Chains A and B, each alone.
Chain A
Amino acid sequence: MPFATRGFSGRRGQADTRVPPGQTMVEKWPVLSAGPTPQVETRDWELTVQDETGTDHRWSWDELHALGVEDITVDIHCVTHWSKLGMAWRGVSLDKILANVRSEHRYVMAHSYGGYTTNLPLEDLLDGKAWIATEAEGEPLDPEHGGPARLLVPHLYFWKSAKWVRGLTMMPDNDPGFWEQYGYHLYGDPWKEQRYR
């Protein structure tokens, strides 16, 4: 320890091995986004997955749900130092969505209504690690929390869980998304505190 700040003891009783370094547990659910909240009706909502062949795979709201919705309980970690533990979500596994997508590419750019983007390695979306989430804490996702649907990739900092998700594009290189272009880490592992580059 380089030094301690005089008189600071912090709030104790929070020690929980589920909380990564530099994070503090919260009960409420803070909102952070870069601009106005897009309002997207479920009847207009569509998810598109694009691979390098130019084939678009598309799902309407009902088609997405027909793939099979599952219950998910996960911890989420925001780069702005809060963590929310044991959150109950419902959504569709990316394994189901990507099952029939063939791509040689190793990276994915997630695109949102409103123009937000974020980059992820494809393998981080597979094997039960990521979902298109449509409900949280027993309620349909509020627009300010990314509704009607957001990406849910809980093992990475929460900016990777793109709100208002509308598409995934396979890409050969790990091109930076929106916050990544502004200096946020390309990968964002909360346990390694990969906040900024």
Chain B
Amino acid sequence: MRSTWHSATIVETRAETPHSVRMTLAVPTWPGSEPGSHLDVRLTAPDGYQASRSYSVASSSPWGHVVLAIDELPDGEVSPFLVNEARPGDTLEVHGPLGSYFVWRPGQNDRPVQLIAGGSGVVPLYAMAVAHDLAEDTTPFQLLYSVRTPADAFFAAELTELAGPSFQVTHVYTRQAPTGWPGTVGRLTRDTLAASTIPPSERPRVYVCGSTGFAETVATWLLDLGHSTTDILTERFGGL
């Protein structure tokens, strides 16, 4: 294999939501990554036992700080450790960046971009929104973000901060909305999707990330609405 494992040290952890952690890693040899890409995290036990999982990169800096946001899978092996046990100073290994398909590159400004996320699926899309902002790109960006409750939203403050003339954020709350929320509470529907996303006539690039059920449902609706299959990129999680 050409690419190798990089040593990483946790420099900061904080609760992202009640069930997830935002983790900043110092990875001195990190080569940089494109918005939307992921990496593999590898943990090693004292007897040499190892476990690896893939996580999307939320952001990475030129000086080798890599930010991940990791949701705890109740039956997981790696995510409960990272969410509940890991703390600054701990070391682990990462491999990447991986994936150059589900990415948005600044300069891809010929067509608007529609981001659609469920839960922690917002992480790679947040990376794209950050890159769009840093590049001062005026390509219209929209995010439709479905979460259970306001407390379950990842990067809530950052997304509010990023919102502006060329980046519009719409939330769907499936269980509980903020006080004074004018909309309805409940699962995303095809009608809401149609009403709150860039129409197919504008030929947006559409990035969908969430659980398999979420991604399947949304991708099917997007096709029904008239988006072309080649304009819809999906990333699904839920395996491990």
Contact = CB atoms under 8 A, between A and B. Distances in A.
A194 interface: yes
A30 to B, nearest CB: 3
A193 interface: yes
A66 interface: no
A10 B52 contact: no
B234 A81 contact: no
B239 A36 contact: no
Interface class of chain B by DSSP: mixed
A99 interface: no
Nearest to B221: A36
Nearest to B234: A35
A115 interface: yes
- Among B3, B50, B51, B236, residue most surrounded by chain A Cβ atoms (within 10 Å): B51
A31 B212 contact: yes
B230 A115 contact: yes
B48 interface: yes
A140 interface: no
Contact of A36 (B2, B40, B81, B234): B234
Contacts of A3: 7, 44, 91
A46 interface: no
Interface string A1-31: 1111111111110000000011010100011
Interface string A72-105: 0000001011100000000000000000000000
A34 B233 contact: yes
A183 interface: yes
B98 interface: yes
Interface residues of B, number: 45
Contact of B239 (A10, A11, A32): A32
Contact of B1 (A5, A11, A115, A194): A194
Interface in B10-41: 40
B54 A193 contact: no
Given A5-B44, A24-B51, A182-B101, A30 B77 contact: no
Nearest to B102: A34
A161 to B, nearest CB: 15
Interface string B186-217: 00000000000000000000000000100010
Interface string A141-180: 0001000000000000000000000000000000000010
A194 B1 CA distance: 7
Contacts of A7: 81, 85-86, 90
B46 to A, nearest CB: 5
B240 A26 contact: yes
A197 B52 CA distance: 18
B233 A35 contact: yes
A182 B37 CA distance: 11
The 9 lowest CB-CB distance pairs between A and B, nearest first, are: A30-B239, A36-B219, A11-B77, A31-B212, A8-B43, A182-B101, A5-B43, A4-B46, A5-B92
Interface of A: 1-12, 21-22, 24, 26, 30-38, 78, 80-82, 114-115, 144, 179, 182-183, 185, 193-197
Given A4-B44, A183-B98, 7 more contacts: A2-B7, A12-B49, A31-B239, A38-B229, A81-B52, A182-B101, A194-B1
